[in-house]
Amino acid sequence: MSARKIGSIGSIDDQVTFKARQTSLELSADTVAIHKNGIEFRSPTPFKEWSEMTVALQSPGDGGKLHCAGVVVSCAGSKHTGYRVSMLFTGLSKHAQEQLNAMAYSDLGAG
């Protein structure tokens, strides 16, 4: 899986919103890594593995919001150091997958 930090892509919004049942987080772009089929982020709170979540990302191409549903596949860490959460996207439309690929493989995000 290839990852790029959202913050290095430049034109993506400074915040990413994560929602899971009764939890909602707005995280700064420097705490997020985008992959072609998922996302990893640092969180001050843990998420249960296999929890379903939605994520809102701002597309670098057209500036529109990309809403992705997925499932938490890993959550490791502690309340003292924070948690590293890995999420796999599910049921992406062809258009959403193309936008996500552009984010993950953008020349602006090379590194």
Distance between CA atoms of residues 65 and 80, nearest Å: 32
Looking at the structure of the chain, the number of domains it has is: 1
Task: Using alpha carbons, list the distances in angstroms from residue 14 to 22, 43, 77, 99.
Answer: 23, 16, 24, 17
32-44 pLDDT, tens digit per residue, is 888 888 999 888 8
The residue among 22 and 43 whose pLDDT is bigger is 43
The CATH code of the domain that includes 34 is: 2.40.10.220
80-99 pLDDT, tens digit per residue, is 999 999 999 999 999 888 88
**Confidence grade of residue 8 (pLDDT, cut at 50, 70, 90):** very low
Mean pLDDT of the chain: 75
Which residues partner with 52 through β-bridges?
71
Distance between CA atoms of residues 77 and 13, nearest Å: 26
Structural domain boundaries enclosing 83: 4-109
